[in-house]
Amino acid sequence: MNFFLLKITISIVMYYMIRIFYKNERSLYISSIVAACLFISLYLFDYMGLFKYDEISLIGNLHRISVGLSILFLFIAYNEIIILEIKVRNLKKGELIDTQPFPVERNYKILNKLLGISLLFLSFVFISGLGSASIVDANIVFKALFTLIAWAIYVITYVGIKFFSFPIKYATRSLFVAMLAVLAAYYMNSYITSF
C-alpha cells in the first residue's frame, strides 16, 4: 500500500525535530535538506517494494516525488513565515528572548528562496505530468495556466524586490498566499474538470 501523505508527514516531523533540537543559524537549511532527502528515500524505499510491477514508470515516480517535495517546501515556508512573524512581533513589543541579533530582511530573503524552490518543484510536476499524459485535455490546460500564473507572480515579485525596492516582507507574504492559491487550484482542478 502506498502511503504518500504519510511520507510527507514523516518528513515534516523530521524537519520539526531538527529545528527544535538543533539550535543553530543553519538549522533551517539542514532541516530542509534532511526532510527532503528523507522523503525521497522513503519514496524510493516504497518504490523498491513496487519494483516488480511493470506499470511503474520513471516519469510517474519523478512526478510523485516532485509533488511531495513541492508540498514539503511549501509547508516549510509556511512554518518559517509563522516563526518569523512571531519573532518580528516580539521584537516590536520589545521582548528580546535571544541576545543574538535577528536579521529580519535576510530571513525574508531566505523565505523567498524557499518559495522559489517550491515553485520549481511545482513546475517540474507540470512538466512530468505533461510528459506522462497521452492527450491534451482541460485538466492539462488548467495545470499549464496555473503554473504560468505562479511563475508570473514569482517573477513580478522578484523584479519588484530587485529593481523597484518593493519591501521583501510584503512580497514574501503575498507570494506565499499566491503560491497557496495556485497550489490549491492546481491540485483541485481534477475535481473542477470532472463536473
Number of structural domains found in the chain: 1
Alpha-helical segments (H) within the chain:
4-21, 27-49, 58-93, 104-132, 138-163, 168-193
Write the pLDDT tens digit of every residue in 116-162. 787 788 778 777 777 766 666 676 677 777 777 777 777 777 777 77
The whole-angstrom separation of Cα 144 and Cα 130 is: 9
Residue 49 domain boundaries: 4-193
The answer to whether 164 and 106 are in contact (CB under 8 A) is: no
In this predicted structure, what is the pLDDT of residue 98? 60
Write the pLDDT tens digit of every residue in 27-50. 888 899 999 999 999 888 877 665
The whole-angstrom separation of Cα 159 and Cα 56 is: 41
